[in-house]
Amino acid sequence: MATRPPITHCLSKHFGNAVRQFREGKGWSQELLAEQADLNRSYIGELERGQAIASLMTLEKLATAFGVSMSHLLSHTERIAMSNNANTFELTSIAC
Amino acid sequence: MATRPPITHCLSKHFGNAVRQFREGKGWSQELLAEQADLNRSYIGELERGQAIASLMTLEKLATAFGVSMSHLLSHTERIAMSNNANTFELTSIAC
């Protein structure tokens, strides 16, 4: 059985999924999001893949670019996490 | 006239105030919060003074220690920021 990854790893994955969903909802490329949020394109890619942990500064830049509050972007992240955990329970798979 | 500090500086100040308010609401010392959140005591002090920028990992640890969601802790931060901005408008002072 696979070892459950640490919660912090899950958090970065779920946050990355939230960022990707918001970006795709706007029909933006990673390049365009990077430009709108004043962040590096490769950093956006790392965030979306859950390979980087965002700071509150980054969260603020992304939320501002998407035109939402920071808490809204995090609420969406939490919904993804809950949905993922529910699926995990059903599938008895790993958490993220 | 004082120069308005950068928004990221304001964010860390407002987040620090939110953390302090939640901690004091529980009647906890910084030491106890550090223990509950598995963080360093001096780091808690830096966060509360707005001298450190939290990562999402730190936000998650603090929210878990307080028994609230990450988005709830950030909503409170945003309320502090809005209240502060309103006061700033009235007093024509600096933002944070």
- Model confidence pLDDT, tens digit, residues A11-49: 999 999 999 999 999 999 999 999 999 999 999 999 999
The first and second tokens of residue B87, run together, are 């006061």
Q: What is the DSSP letter of A55?
A: B
Say if pTM beats, i.e. exceeds, 0.90.
no
Chain B residues within 8 A of A72 when measuring between CB atoms: 71
A56 closest CB neighbour out of B15, B69, B72 = B15
Q: Which of A17, A48, A56 to mutate to test the interface with B (most CBs of B within 10 A)?
A: A56
Tens digits of residue pLDDT in B9-34: 799 999 999 999 999 999 999 999 99
Domain assignment present for A1: no
Domain assignment present for B1: no
CA–CA separation, A57 vs B55, rounded Å?
9
pLDDT band at A7 (very low <50, low <70, confident <90, very high): very low
Tens digits of residue pLDDT in A49-80: 999 999 999 999 999 999 999 999 999 999 99
Domain assignment present for A16: yes
Alpha helices per DSSP H over chain A: 7-26, 30-37, 41-48, 56-66, 70-91
Domain assignment present for B15: yes
pLDDT of residue B90: 58
ipTM: 0.83
Domain assignment present for B55: yes
CA–CA separation, A18 vs B18, rounded Å?
24
Range of the domain at B87: 7-95
DSSP class per residue in B46-76: HHHTT-SPPBHHHHHHHHHHHTS-HHHHHHH
Torsion, Cα A33 B76 B50 B9, to 10 degrees, reads 40
CATH of the domain at B56: 1.10.260.40
Chain B residues within 8 A of A54 when measuring between CB atoms: 55-56
